[in-house]
Chain A
């Protein structure tokens, strides 16, 4: 699959088929993703990849636990800037609209949100973490690495869903996996094969026009 097609067909998949992903495939992808760039070649990314019974055990723990209080980082705040708030609400409207869950149906929305804790049925979960002392620039590096993985997954006919939701359970995840306290759990990447018929996987994704974000000078 070429890059353009991988970029265009990558979407956050929120319903997976119940089919395992072999270790060999995951290792191959992560091995290739090592060539992602990073500032000063720090390669600040770390990950723990779970499947099978150990994944189920983690999920059971998460389901029985409340989110961290306080959170270790807050991904839900789009700042006080209206344009970002709008982008967030437009995603919610498209996704829940496709699933016929109304704005006022708080229970159903909550239930679907909690499906994050079982990674929407994905057979594999990659938890991305890094030392807490890393600065914003290293968060960008981790982002470059994660998109490399998500595009390589497309290249193998696989799908993913980045889940910052997991970041709300950093303490629980660290304790469960035996990760050091100075590690920040940034996000999960649910990995598996999409259920193509599920409405959560078919809605049209909205993006702002290019000219709203990029200007060209001197051409």
Chain B
């Protein structure tokens, strides 16, 4: 699959087929992703992939708990300008519509949000941790690697859903993954599996701002 098709076809998938992901295939994807670049070559990504029983046990533990306090990290700035909140609403609208949930039905939206803690039915989830000793720019390096993984998954016929909301249960994730809380912060989960492309929530049009709103060209 060429790169531009992979970029266009990658989308956050929220209905997966009931079919396991083969370890060898997953290893192959992650091996290739090792060549992602990073600031100063630090390669700061650390991850644990859970499947089957261990993943189901984590799901049960999260559903039986309340979001942790204090939060693992501040996901967005409290004083975020309205334009960004509008971008969020722009995608929540069509997503909720595809699910048959009314725009102002907050109870329905929240109930659907709980599907995060079942990884939307994905057979595997990759949990990504960032070393506490490293600064913000290393989060960008982890992002470089993350998108590399997601595009390689698309090429392998697999799909993903990045799930920052799993960080509400960061300490449970660390317990399940055997990761040291002192050394690492839990950033994000990535549900991984085979996409069910017949599901409307996997098909709505995803809004993005126009190119000229975010990029300026000078001298061409």
0 or 1 for each of B72-99: is its CB under 8 Å from A? (1 = yes):
0111110111001001101100000000
Shortest beta-carbon distance, A74 to chain B, in Å?
6
- Would you call A170 an interface residue if the criterion is a C-beta within 8 Å of the partner chain's C-beta atoms? no
**Per a CB cutoff under 8 Å, which of B27, B80, B216 touches A49?**
B216
Contacting pair B50 A217 (CB below 8 A): yes
CA of A51 to CA of B220, assembled, Å: 6
Binds B, one of A61-69, A97-105, A106-114, A146-154: A146-154
Which of the listed residues A27, A147, A150 has the most CB atoms from chain B within 10 Å of its own CB? Answer: A147
Smallest CB gap from B143: residue in A: A143
CA of A14 to CA of B208, assembled, Å: 33
Contacting pair B3 A154 (CB below 8 A): yes
Contacting pair B214 A45 (CB below 8 A): yes
Which residues of the other chain, A, contact B145 by a CB distance below 8 angstroms? Answer: 143, 147
- Would you call B215 an interface residue if the criterion is a C-beta within 8 Å of the partner chain's C-beta atoms? yes
**A interface residues, how many (CB within 8 angstroms):** 93
Given contacts A37-B12, A218-B54, contact A1 B209 (CB under 8 A): no
Which residues of the other chain, A, contact B207 by a CB distance below 8 angstroms? Answer: 41
Interface residue tally of chain B, by bracket?
35 or more
Contacting pair B144 A210 (CB below 8 A): no
- Would you call B40 an interface residue if the criterion is a C-beta within 8 Å of the partner chain's C-beta atoms? yes
**Per a CB cutoff under 8 Å, which of B30, B55, B130, B135 touches A74?**
B135
Which residues of the other chain, B, contact A8 by a CB distance below 8 angstroms? Answer: 32, 35
Contacting pair B134 A155 (CB below 8 A): no
Given contacts A78-B40, A146-B144, contact A41 B215 (CB under 8 A): no
Could you jot down 23 A-B contacts, CB within 8 Å?
A1-B2, A7-B35, A8-B35, A35-B7, A35-B208, A39-B162, A43-B214, A75-B39, A79-B131, A91-B40, A137-B164, A139-B140, A143-B142, A144-B143, A152-B7, A187-B140, A208-B34, A208-B43, A213-B43, A213-B47, A215-B178, A217-B178, A219-B52
Smallest CB gap from A39: residue in B: B164
CA of A147 to CA of B35, assembled, Å: 11
**Per a CB cutoff under 8 Å, which of B6, B47, B141 touches A143?**
B141
**Per a CB cutoff under 8 Å, which of A49, A77, A207 touches B135?**
A77
Which residues of the other chain, B, contact A137 by a CB distance below 8 angstroms? Answer: 73, 75-76, 139, 164, 187-188
Interface residues of A in 31-71 (CB under 8 A from B): 31-37, 39-55
Contacting pair B136 A207 (CB below 8 A): no
CA of A27 to CA of B45, assembled, Å: 30
Shortest beta-carbon distance, A63 to chain B, in Å?
18
Contacting pair B4 A32 (CB below 8 A): yes
- Would you call B151 an interface residue if the criterion is a C-beta within 8 Å of the partner chain's C-beta atoms? yes
CA of A52 to CA of B48, assembled, Å: 46
Contacting pair B144 A144 (CB below 8 A): yes
- Would you call A175 an interface residue if the criterion is a C-beta within 8 Å of the partner chain's C-beta atoms? no
- Would you call B23 an interface residue if the criterion is a C-beta within 8 Å of the partner chain's C-beta atoms? yes
Which residues of the other chain, B, contact A34 by a CB distance below 8 angstroms? Answer: 208-209, 211, 214
**Per a CB cutoff under 8 Å, which of A3, A39, A78 touches B6?**
A3
Interface residues of B in 1-39 (CB under 8 A from A): 1-4, 6-8, 10, 12, 23, 26-27, 30-37, 39
- Would you call B115 an interface residue if the criterion is a C-beta within 8 Å of the partner chain's C-beta atoms? no
Contacting pair B219 A218 (CB below 8 A): no
Which residues of the other chain, A, contact B3 by a CB distance below 8 angstroms? Answer: 1-3, 6, 151-152, 154-155
Given contacts A34-B209, A40-B84, contact A12 B37 (CB under 8 A): yes
Shortest beta-carbon distance, A158 to chain B, in Å?
11
- Would you call A183 an interface residue if the criterion is a C-beta within 8 Å of the partner chain's C-beta atoms? no
Smallest CB gap from A77: residue in B: B135
Contacting pair B147 A47 (CB below 8 A): no
Contacting pair A218 B37 (CB below 8 A): no
Shortest beta-carbon distance, A35 to chain B, in Å?
6
Contacting pair B216 A217 (CB below 8 A): no
Contacting pair B81 A131 (CB below 8 A): yes
**Per a CB cutoff under 8 Å, which of A1, A10, A41 touches B90?**
A41
Contacting pair B148 A147 (CB below 8 A): yes
Shortest beta-carbon distance, A87 to chain B, in Å?
5
